[in-house]
Chains A and B, each alone.
Chain A
Amino acid sequence: MIQLFHVTKEYPGDAPALQDVTVSVDKGEFVFLTGASGAGKSTLLKLIFCDEPATSGQLLLFGRNVAKIAPRSVPYLRRNIGVVFQDFKLLPRRTVAENVALPLEVQALPAREVRRKVRLLLRSVGLEHRAEKYPPSLSGGEQQRVAVVRALSADPALLLADEPTGNLDPDRTIEVMELLSAANARGTTVVVATHDRSLLERYKRRVVTLERGRLVSDGALVRRVAQELR
């Protein structure tokens, strides 16, 4: 699903945000990407959803070399990727239903189908009664649930979440993590960037750790090495 080979990302005048990172994520996996602030987690996610190009190395997404994808094709690639942010990134002057409908409207689904799907999605997260409200009138937890539902509305193959629980209290954190786990159970590959260690301990999933732009540990590798040693 995602393969990075010796990927480096540099910004002019700064230390490299990512250095020689080689990692892969298989279809259907649930991976935590962790590390301190500035470790390169968000940069790695930006490279994966084609927001920025890598300075060197190769990134393969769905088997395609991202560096060779024409800019005009990037939007179509992104339709296979749902993205969730710490600050929700909901449009404040569009209703909850309109926000959830965005990816479906971009894909030109018929209006009736969009309405039907939005209703079902909001019902699935218990927010059907908030459909006509505007995001600022919702709690943080509700806003993040709307953001997750929006990211999943077009049934993407891959879901990227950048500190999705960073602004939430423990109860709301569990709600959001349950949504991500449910999506993963339905077959969506999920990559969650977080520095919250309690999440890693609570949800026993593969953990990839970055430190100052370098990959310092990978749960999959550790498991593989342990199996080989046995």
Chain B
Amino acid sequence: MKLRPAYFTRLALEGMARGPYVALVGTATIFVALFATGLFAGALAGAERLLSAWAGEVRISAYLSPGTDLAAARAAVAAAAPGREVQAVPAVAALRQLSVELGDETHVLDGVGPGVLPDAIDVLAPGISLEGARGLAARLRALPGVAEVDYGNAWLEKLETLVARARVAAVVLFAVLSLATAVLVGNTLRLAVFARREEIEILKLVGATDVFVSTPFLIEGLLQGVCGAGLAVLALVAVHLGLIPRLKAAVPLASVLSLSDTLPAGLLVGLLGGGAAMGLMGSALAVIRTLRRT
């Protein structure tokens, strides 16, 4: 069959103009599915960005066994963490710091001597990843005289597990939503195809091939998919532009977030491609079923 993209696109647009309700329902279905997926994926991308940023700000503390030489331990830690700022924190200084942090409640330390807290070496590692922090902590733990290493691992690892599970949930959600949307779009387009079954019958009567009959419907599905996805992308950008400043104001640690973190270009391209694929798949399902019966 001769390729006539302009002719078939015109037929598809005419079809949509004749049945605007069906076109609207198809577009809206794809919009809702992709908007929901985009919201979830955006939240996930934001959480991953925060996770990596928060992990980087964690102060890694190596607590020393009693009797360990603080200066020697500092030198060993500095050697294990090259390029990082390393601070020796004697027990007295730690107790003083704790007293300051307790503020009005400082009286709880009455009678507590400096020997109750261990000497410690702090490593400041801005920009380090969670994986990097974990590796550095392991190296510090292996140093002689180091009794314990703390980098806030308990909550960070919980958060990391949560993000990993959310990532799996996002993939499952997207797969389920894609399938449900393709079926919904397919059924919606079946209505469009059914409404035009007389036209299909007449086209076949005058010698139209199945490809000739189905091409305008496929283009229609594709256009609905691209329109629905385009609207979903615009809505997501609007929602994120509104939410990110509020989140930054409410949670100081979220100050690192930007639009490209929560809605990366890859996600937006994926949503547009996904919408087009859903529309195309839905219309293909509808047309194939109808053509079999005419």
A binds B: yes
Q: A interface vs B, CB < 8 Å?
A: 49, 72, 75-79, 83, 89-91, 93, 102-103, 105-108, 111, 150, 154
Note all chain A residues with C-beta closer than 8 A to B209. 72, 75-76
The answer for the CA separation of A107 and B203 in the assembled complex, in Å, is: 11
B-side interface mostly? helix
Given contacts A75-B207, A78-B206, A79-B207, contact A108 B198 (CB under 8 A): no
Tell me, yes or no, whether B176 is within 8 Å of chain A by CB. Answer: no
Tell me, yes or no, whether B204 is within 8 Å of chain A by CB. Answer: yes
Tell me, yes or no, whether B250 is within 8 Å of chain A by CB. Answer: no
Chain B, residues 175-218, CB within 8 Å of chain A (1/0): the string is 00000000000000000000000110111111111101000000
Query: A102 touching B206 by the CB < 8 A rule?
Result: yes
Q: Number of contacting residues on B, CB 8 A?
A: 18
Tell me, yes or no, whether B7 is within 8 Å of chain A by CB. Answer: yes
What are 28 residue pairs bridging A and B, where the CB atoms are less than 8 Å apart in the complex? A72-B209, A75-B207, A75-B208, A75-B209, A75-B210, A75-B212, A76-B209, A77-B207, A78-B204, A78-B207, A79-B206, A79-B207, A89-B198, A90-B202, A91-B198, A91-B202, A93-B18, A102-B202, A102-B203, A105-B7, A106-B207, A106-B212, A107-B207, A108-B1, A108-B4, A111-B7, A150-B206, A154-B207
Note all chain B residues with C-beta closer than 8 A to A49. 205
The answer for the CA separation of A107 and B7 in the assembled complex, in Å, is: 13
Note all chain B residues with C-beta closer than 8 A to A90. 202
Query: A103 touching B207 by the CB < 8 A rule?
Result: yes
Query: B205 touching A78 by the CB < 8 A rule?
Result: yes
Note all chain A residues with C-beta closer than 8 A to B7. 105, 111
Query: B198 touching A106 by the CB < 8 A rule?
Result: no
Q: B interface vs A, CB < 8 Å?
A: 1-2, 4, 7, 18, 198-199, 201-210, 212
The answer for the CA separation of A108 and B206 in the assembled complex, in Å, is: 12
In this complex, what residue of B is CB-closest to A98? B14
The answer for the CA separation of A75 and B210 in the assembled complex, in Å, is: 9
The answer for the CA separation of A102 and B202 in the assembled complex, in Å, is: 9
Given contacts A93-B18, A108-B1, contact A75 B204 (CB under 8 A): yes
In this complex, what residue of A is CB-closest to B1? A108
In this complex, what residue of A is CB-closest to B212? A106
Give chain A nearest CB distance to B292 CB in angstroms.
11
In this complex, what residue of B is CB-closest to A151? B206
Note all chain B residues with C-beta closer than 8 A to A111. 7
Query: B203 touching A106 by the CB < 8 A rule?
Result: yes
Give chain A nearest CB distance to B74 CB in angstroms.
82
Note all chain B residues with C-beta closer than 8 A to A77. 207
Query: A89 touching B207 by the CB < 8 A rule?
Result: no
Note all chain A residues with C-beta closer than 8 A to B208. 75, 106
